[in-house]
């Protein structure tokens, strides 16, 4: 039972990440590989402020959201000068920079040793210590993200984002300030990723820089590519599939190194197959 609860919590966290990334990539057409950076900043904000400064989970969560919002807004201005593959390459550079800071700024992040003893969320004196209660909280947050995505998708703002994604020059000719739309979408996506990182840090109670490398950002990108671009439901399906597939390898009794290599092979094969035969994903509405 505890194993199932653990899978449920990780699924909710991955669903938050997939929904947030799909907001930037699927709705807005911004091919971002910077999500691992924002995920890590949210996680480390909670870890440092709770473990080293005694702040509550919710206060630390807000600080992480603000840090991600400020960084994403500033970086978004730089990324707006690029398009397509160049956008992806420069955004990947942000993940590399943030990982290097987390690894080497030992006085703040504890470097490769990581941070232990991260606390749990509390509301009105109740601590979400058990896996069941934490799952309910994570599920509530994932549901909120789902609702936000659907509302944006159906709003006039979302339609403008999709117009920008399909033909930015035409959208500019219609009088829309596309840079502001892209900046808002990228910033909101980063803030949502930071929330997922906060939940991850609190649940695991230990983090180190290896959880926030560029490879994680590619993993998140694979989730929405498989599940479906510009689709809230596709984001959920992609998160579930890429969580369940590697977990199934546990029951084969394979050595850890072998299982890890097979896992990477599965991810790569899925990505190649989807891009070759169904570029919009299983439930997607948009072809990259």
Residue 119, in any domain of the structure: yes
* pLDDT given at position 171: 76
Residue 28, in any domain of the structure: yes
Give the whole-number percent of the chain exceeding pLDDT 70.
Answer: 95
Q: What is the pLDDT of residues 117-143, one digit of tens each?
A: 999 999 988 999 899 999 999 999 999
Instruction: Look over the chain and give the mean of its residue pLDDT values, rounded to a whole number.
Output: 89
Domain span including residue 121 = 2-211
Residue 131, in any domain of the structure: yes
Number of folded domains that form the chain: 1
Query: 121 or 251: which carries more pLDDT confidence?
Result: 121
Residue 250, in any domain of the structure: no
Q: Which of 72-81, 137-146, 174-183, 210-219 has the lowest mean pLDDT?
A: 174-183
Residue 83, in any domain of the structure: yes
Query: pLDDT band at residue 288, thresholds of 50, 70 and 90?
Result: low
Query: pLDDT band at residue 179, thresholds of 50, 70 and 90?
Result: confident
Residue 56, in any domain of the structure: yes
User: What is the value of pTM for the model shown?
Assistant: 0.92
Residue 155, in any domain of the structure: yes
Q: What is the pLDDT of residues 233-243, one digit of tens each?
A: 999 999 999 88
Section 254-279 average pLDDT = 75
* pLDDT given at position 276: 80
Residue 163, in any domain of the structure: yes
* pLDDT given at position 271: 76
- DSSP per-residue string spanning the chain: -HHHHHHHHHHHHHHHHHHHHHIIIIIT------HHHHHHHHHHHHHHHHHTT---HHHHHHHHHHHHHHHHHHHHHHHTT--HHHHHHHHHHHHHHHHHHHHH-HHHH-GGG-EE-PPPPEETTEE--SHHHHHHHHHHHHHHHHHHHHHHHHSHHHHHHHHHHH-HHHHHHTT--HHHHHHHHHHHHHHHHHHHHHHHHHHHSEE-GGGGSHHHHHHHHHHHHHH-TT-HHHHHHHHHHHHHHHHHGGGGT--HHHHHHHHHHHHHHHHHHHHHH-TT-SS-S---
């Amino acid at each position: 039972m505890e194993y199932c609860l653990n899978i449920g919590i990780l699924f909710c966290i991955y669903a938050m990440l997939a929904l947030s990334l799909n907001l930037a990539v699927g709705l807005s057409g911004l091919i971002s590989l910077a999500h691992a950076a924002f995920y890590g900043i949210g996680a480390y904000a909670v870890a440092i402020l709770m473990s080293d400064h005694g702040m509550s989970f919710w206060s630390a969560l807000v600080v992480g959201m603000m840090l991600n919002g400020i960084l994403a807004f500033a970086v978004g201005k730089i990324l707006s000068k690029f398009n397509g593959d160049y956008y992806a390459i420069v955004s990947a550079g942000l993940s590399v920079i943030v990982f290097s800071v987390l690894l080497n700024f030992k006085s703040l992040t504890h470097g490769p040793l990581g941070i232990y003893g991260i606390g749990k969320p509390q509301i009105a004196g109740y601590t979400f210590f058990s896996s069941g209660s934490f799952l309910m909280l994570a599920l509530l947050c994932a549901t909120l993200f789902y609702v936000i995505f659907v509302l944006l998708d159906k709003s006039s703002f979302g339609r403008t984002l999709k117009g920008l994604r399909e033909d930015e020059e035409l959208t500019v000719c219609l009088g829309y300030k596309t840079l502001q739309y892209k900046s808002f979408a990228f910033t909101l996506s980063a803030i949502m990723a930071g929330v997922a990182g906060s939940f991850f840090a609190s649940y695991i109670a230990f983090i180190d820089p290896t959880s926030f490398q560029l490879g994680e950002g590619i993993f998140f990108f694979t989730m929405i590519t498989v599940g479906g671009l510009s689709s809230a439901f596709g984001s959920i399906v992609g998160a579930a599939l890429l969580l369940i597939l590697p977990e199934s390898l546990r029951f084969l009794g394979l050595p850890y190194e072998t299982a890890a290599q097979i896992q990477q092979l599965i991810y790569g094969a899925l990505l190649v197959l989807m891009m070759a035969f169904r570029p919009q994903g299983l439930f997607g509405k948009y072809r990259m």
